Amino acid sequence: MKTEVKTLDFNTDWEYSPALESTDHIHIQEPTDLFISGEFIPGVRGKYFETINPANEEKIANVAEAEKADVDLAVKAARKAYDNVWSKMKPTERGKYIFRIARLIQERAREFAVIESLDGGKPIRESRDVDVPLSAAHFFYYAGWADKLEYAFPGRDAHPVGVAGQIIPWNFPLLMAAWKIAPALATGNTIVLKPAETTPLTAMKLAEIIQECDLPPGVVNIINGGGNTGQALVEHADVDKIAFTGSTEVGKFIMKTVVGTGKKYTLELGGKAANILFDDAPVDQAVEGIVNGIFFNQGHVCCAGSRLFVQENIAENVISKLKERMETLIVGDPLDKNTDIGAINSKIQLDKIKMYVDIGQKEGGSIFQSPCSLPKMGYWHAPTLFTDVSQSHRIVQEEIFGPVLAIQTFRTVDEVIMKANNTPYGLSGGVWTDKGSKIFSLSKKIRAGVIWANTFNKFDPSAPFGGYKESGLGREGGVEGLMPYVNLV
């Protein structure tokens, strides 16, 4: 018997009905104060700034801004908690607190996901399926290490470093907080964390959980503010370690500040990942991976596959399939479960993306953009690709941090390795091929911390992450992620 298989025609106008996630179940403190020594308190000078929803430019909450005096209060609280409680606590007990944080994130997963999408602009599907579960997984993973440090560092005694100052960006606010806080707690350090000024809210929700799970006051302190607040934390004399994730520009500045002070530091910085597609790869699967690699989270991903290298003989077919797929991407309300691409995080970031798109055209690149209609209010950018670009173009060399893909072709393996390595960055990369030998050969020759094979943007707490060259110093995640938070004797 013959079965008729019906195929869907994606070229017809196929509208999805809106599927909005509700905001009824979320609670945001108004105003949102600083979290110091286990309490929510206003700043010393009572200053507040607004955090807005980038999808409609409406204010969500007033957030207390920490100045130098507040940073000092937070560091003092962290020092006191370190000396009196946390560094003396049995590792098994420390582990229990971290497990508790992980479980409470899971319990409040919906609330976290909605707040993340409201404050940051990312689609709810991503906040719900990536950011929040991965954050909980990070706490679970490092909770498990708390009482097993002798296995992480056999034959050595691992001592905590002391007070860690941690500064994070806006692209994965809760997840970056988890990447920083979980290993620091597991190894016995206390913390002052500063989220990015455009996305403070999920970190402050995490502060509520930390209070709820009775973590001793001062073990984790969370303060908000912009570059000045971050700088005050970096310069504070009683901070023993700085963990920074953000731009290469600020990372270099931090490095200059801490060199010679005796502070430990790790830097997770920018990227310009090469996604390499060979003619023996399954093309449709690769196209899906390329789209995910650059348009996931509006391209606000340090490891985004922003440069595509396609083997010349399949380039025409791949580019045409990519354009077709881009036409079906849904740009719109981050809270709609159908949305593929949400809002750009801020006006500053949108202007930067537009500037690069302009530069790309002026330098002679051919542009293609999804023919989507963008909402009138808020910050939006259509998925964009450039062809007819070369290694010397700025959009091929510089990090854009938006949904903009630059495509080049190659003929040989040596050529593509040379091209892929020809940037100041070295955070991540991708290889698409049917041949395991090519995967192993390329992943050794491409100077990047992570190489994905026949997939992209996959994360796991047990896998270390970090960069070469101007993409950073040190590793986060995995056993390696414990190292920056210990002194080994």
Under rule CB under 6 A, residue 70 binds ligand NAD: no
Q: Which of residues 418-437 bind ligand NAD (CB under 6 A)?
A: 427
The region of 40-48, 117-125, 132-140, 265-273 touching ligand NAD under the rule CB under 6 A is: 265-273
Specify the residue, 36 or 310, whose C-beta has the smaller distance to ligand NAD: 36
Phi, psi of 360 (to 5 degrees): -55, -40
Question: Contact letters (x/-) for ligand NAD, 271-300, by CB under 6 A?
Answer: x-----------------------------
Specify the residue, 158 or 269, whose C-beta has the smaller distance to ligand NAD: 269
Under rule CB under 6 A, residue 268 binds ligand NAD: yes
CA distance 77 to 83: 10
Tokens standing for 455? 């997939």
Tokens standing for 88? 């003396």
CA distance 467 to 477: 13
Question: Contact letters (x/-) for ligand NAD, 214-253, by CB under 6 A?
Answer: ------------xx--xx--x----------xxx--x--x
CA-based diameter of the chain, in Å?
79
Specify the residue, 53 or 245, whose C-beta has the smaller distance to ligand NAD: 245
CA distance 264 to 171: 25
Phi, psi of 364 (to 5 degrees): 100, 5
The whole-angstrom distance between residue 409's C-alpha and the CA centroid of its chain comes to 29
Residue nearest to ligand NAD (CB): 230
The region of 63-71, 93-101, 204-212, 262-270 touching ligand NAD under the rule CB under 6 A is: 262-270
460: number of Cβ within 10 Å: 12
Q: What is the identity of the amino acid at 302?
A: C
Tell me: cis bond preceding 31? Omega within 30 of 0 counts.
yes
Provide, rounded to whole angstroms, the least separation between the CB of residue 275 and ligand NAD: 16
Choose among 262, 268, 260: nearest CA to 244. Answer: 268
Specify the residue, 228 or 285, whose C-beta has the smaller distance to ligand NAD: 228
Provide, rounded to whole angstroms, the least separation between the CB of residue 312 and ligand NAD: 30
Provide, rounded to whole angstroms, the least separation between the CB of residue 87 and ligand NAD: 26
- Class of residue 371 by CB neighbours under 10 A (exposed 0-12, middle 13-18, buried 19+): exposed
Provide, rounded to whole angstroms, the least separation between the CB of residue 65 and ligand NAD: 11
CA distance 452 to 431: 6
Under rule CB under 6 A, residue 305 binds ligand NAD: no
Under rule CB under 6 A, residue 167 binds ligand NAD: yes
Which phi-psi region, left, alpha or beta, contains residue 162 (left: φ > 0; alpha: ψ -120 to 50)? Answer: left
Choose among 397, 333, 388: nearest CA to 362. Answer: 388
Question: Contact letters (x/-) for ligand NAD, 443-472, by CB under 6 A?
Answer: ------------------------x----x
Provide, rounded to whole angstroms, the least separation between the CB of residue 197 and ligand NAD: 5
Provide, rounded to whole angstroms, the least separation between the CB of residue 208 and ligand NAD: 20
CA atoms within 13 A on the CB side of 215: 37
3-state secondary structure of 415: helix
Question: Contact letters (x/-) for ligand NAD, 389-408, by CB under 6 A?
Answer: ----------x-x-------
Among 115, 196, 209, 258, contact with ligand NAD (rule: CB under 6 A):
196
Yes or no: say if 66 and 43 are a contact pair by the CB < 8 Å rule: yes
Under rule CB under 6 A, residue 194 binds ligand NAD: yes
Yes or no: say if 370 and 383 are a contact pair by the CB < 8 Å rule: yes
Specify the residue, 123 or 467, whose C-beta has the smaller distance to ligand NAD: 467
Among 32, 51, 166, 171, contact with ligand NAD (rule: CB under 6 A):
171
Specify the residue, 104 or 132, whose C-beta has the smaller distance to ligand NAD: 132
The whole-angstrom distance between residue 455's C-alpha and the CA centroid of its chain comes to 18
Provide, rounded to whole angstroms, the least separation between the CB of residue 192 and ligand NAD: 12
CA distance 33 to 223: 8
CA distance 273 to 449: 10
Q: Which residues are catalytic?
A: 268, 302
Provide, rounded to whole angstroms, the least separation between the CB of residue 273 and ligand NAD: 10
Count residues near ligand NAD (CB under 6 A): 29
Among 169, 183, 293, 430, contact with ligand NAD (rule: CB under 6 A):
169
Provide, rounded to whole angstroms, the least separation between the CB of residue 237 and ligand NAD: 16
Q: What is the DSSP string of 326-365?
A: HHTPPB--TTBTT-SB---S-HHHHHHHHHHHHHHHHTT-
Specify the residue, 52 or 254, whose C-beta has the smaller distance to ligand NAD: 254
CA distance 89 to 42: 30
Q: Given the rule CB under 6 A, which residues bind ligand NAD? A: 167-171, 194, 196-197, 226-227, 230-231, 234, 245-247, 250, 253-254, 268-271, 302, 399, 401, 427, 467, 472
